[in-house]
Amino acid sequence: MQKREITILGAGLVGSLLAILFCKKGYKVHVIERRPDMRNANISAGRSINLAMSHRGWQALEKAGMKKDLEEIAIPMYGRQIHNLDGSQVFQAYGKNNEAIYSVSRGELNKKLIAAAENAGATFTFNAKCNKVDINSNILQLEVDGIAKTIQADLLVGSDGAFSSLRSAYTSLDRCDYQQFYIGHGYKELSIPNGANNSFLIEKEALHIWPRKNYMLIALPNIDGSFTLTLFFPFNGEPSFASVQNDEEIIQFFESQFGDAKKIMPQFLEEYKTNPTASLVTVKTNIWVYQSKSFLIGDAAHAIVPFYGQGMNAGFEDCAVLMDIIEKNEESNWETILQEYQNARKINGDAVAQLALNNFIEMRDLVADPIFLERKKIEKEIGLRYPKEYLSVYEMVSFSHTPYSVALGTAQAQEKLYNQIINYGGDFFENLKLDKFIAQLNTWIAEYTTEAQKIMANG
């Protein structure tokens, strides 16, 4: 059977990875990208300079034969390094077996993916903005180097990000439920430069957080020894981007809230004043695919806030799952393939959106809360004692391919288990010395396991 020709809108992280995967399966792929070729132009990727890659991302890169290449530019982060207001620091490991998430340069990753897609046979048109899609005829109206052009697509992919032109065309369909909402916080990028001989001025292999209840500063390492910092801060209120504006206010704010970081941020004042303040959007839609003609993937289908470090990882997982579905259906019926893809991924797109929103509260506030820290210790002990039965939600999301929907559902079952442990009374670690408590704990774990299995079975 003649293979369909794939037209991909957007050469971002997801579109470029998908181009490689389709080429590897022998499809003819053409990618249309609004921006210039980032391999030649000195353009920033637009958003965060670096991002956290975790298990799902690595799995998809492996499928594309890109894992080794990317490992060379990835820095492991084994946990959170919490910077308290009094200057003290605490390290919280992410996993119980020394697992890590990885800091990767967005630009380098994107460039490597574009180059690999080209090597695999994909063609790219840069400086080509899609202005309109007719979803029935699959005719695209483009502006290429400023000149209007019309092209006909066979199988069209919308990987053109949170404000996708293809998704926008879907919104005219009957019963399209589309939702877009912003949180009240925005973000601004700042930096800690490298030290002598590209040394790291703070712990290299950690994701640093300065949690300050309603806002936070985070830092991820770069391979040149510098750190990229992101301030997640309310747009309005006290304090906020609106209230911290002039030199005096900015200096006073950093001095009082991020004193240890400020000492090694020589550019903070200039960067705060000149770097853009960006907003954070969540996008959901119930129509991911249209007949056998087109589909959405990555942020175009599910833009989420960045607090679980999962947006790209989820988009990469979309690509890997789609390839599995294509293999299973022997590339025959595209309507079936696309419907199966939507069924598999929509529920997980919604779940990861919720997990990401929930995690903002954990990152900016709870990580500094003694009750939360005690809970984490108990959770770690449970995980070590019952390794087959108990995986924390963080481990499910970041170190496994457990569906996001299952991770979200299991969070409630874990809450119940934790309450049972706490309501038993006494100190958990002392209780572990009592046979009676161990017997009770075994019963709770058995109940939890049954509940978790039910959640898994229902997806």
Ligand X SMILES: Cc1cc2nc3c(=O)[nH]c(=O)nc-3n(C[C@H](O)[C@H](O)[C@H](O)COP(=O)(O)OP(=O)(O)OC[C@H]3O[C@@H](n4cnc5c(N)ncnc54)[C@H](O)[C@@H]3O)c2cc1C
- Least spacing, CB of residue 36 vs ligand X, in Å: 10
| Near ligand X by CB under 6 A: residue from 79, 161, 221, 409 | 161
Q: Which stretch binds ligand X (CB under 6 A): 159-167, 328-336, 362-370, 371-379?
A: 159-167
Nearest to 401 by CA among 333, 335, 456: 456
Q: Does 35 sit near ligand X (CB under 6 A)? A: yes
Question: What phi, psi does 215 have (nearest 5°)?
Answer: -155, 170
Q: Which of 297, 316, 282 has its CA nearest to residue 109?
A: 316
Which part of the chain contacts ligand X (CB under 6 A), choosing from 173-181, 312-320, 367-375, 421-429?
312-320
Confirm or reject binding of residue 51 to ligand X (CB under 6 A).
yes
Q: Compute the distance between CA of residue 252 and CA of residue 368 in angstroms, rounded to an integer.
A: 22
Q: Which amino acid is at 423?
A: N
Selected range binding ligand X among 63-71, 248-256, 305-313, 426-434, rule: CB under 6 A: 305-313
Kindly tell me which residue out of 8, 20, 21, 48 binds ligand X, with binding defined by CB under 6 A. 48
> Beta partners for 279?
186
For residue 449, which of 428, 347, 44, 441 has the smallest C-alpha distance? Answer: 441
Under the criterion CB under 6 A, does residue 95 sit at the interface with ligand X? Answer: no
Among 6, 12, 118, 295, interactor with ligand X by CB under 6 A:
12
Binding of residue 33 to ligand X (CB under 6 A): yes
The CB-of-18 to ligand X minimum distance in angstroms stands at: 9
Residue 455 carries which side chain, given as an amino acid letter? Answer: I
Instruction: Kindly state the smallest distance separating residue 150's Cβ from ligand X, in Å.
Output: 14
Phi, psi of 252 (to 5 degrees): -65, -40
- Mapping DSSP to helix (H, G, I), strand (E, B) and coil, where does residue 193 land? coil
Q: How far is the CB of 135 from ligand X (least distance, A)?
A: 15
34 makes contact with ligand X (CB under 6 A) = yes
**What CA–CA distance (Å, rounded) separates 127 from 312?**
23
Q: Does residue 187 touch ligand X according to CB under 6 A?
A: yes
User: Of the ranges 20-28, 148-156, 282-290, 303-311, which one interacts with ligand X (CB under 6 A)?
Assistant: 303-311
Contact status, residue 231 vs residue 219, Cβ threshold 8 Å: no
Comparison of 296 and 421: residue with beta carbon closer to ligand X = 296
Strand partners, 221: 227
3-state secondary structure of 334: helix
Site for ligand X in 113-152 (CB under 6 A): 129-130
Residue 12 or 79: which CB sits closer to ligand X?
12
# residues contacting ligand X (CB under 6 A): 33
Q: How do 5-9 and 28-32 pair as beta strands?
A: parallel
Burial class (CB in 10 A: 0-12, 13-18, 19+), 174: exposed
Cα–Cα distance for residue pair 209/367, rounded to 1 Å: 9
Q: Which stretch binds ligand X (CB under 6 A): 4-12, 283-291, 368-376, 424-432?
A: 4-12
Specify the residue, 66 or 382, whose C-beta has the smaller distance to ligand X.
66
Could you tell me which stretch among 69-77, 84-92, 310-318, 401-409 binds ligand X (CB under 6 A)? 310-318
**Separation of CA 24 from chain center:** 25
Shortest reach from residue 295's CB to ligand X, in Å:
13
**Count of beta carbons in the 10 Å neighbourhood of residue 436:** 9
Q: What is the DSSP letter of 306?
A: G
- The answer to the question of residue 186 lying near ligand X (CB under 6 A) is no
Contacting residues toward ligand X, per CB under 6 A: 9-15, 32-35, 47-48, 51-52, 129-130, 159-161, 165, 187, 230, 298-300, 306, 309-313, 315
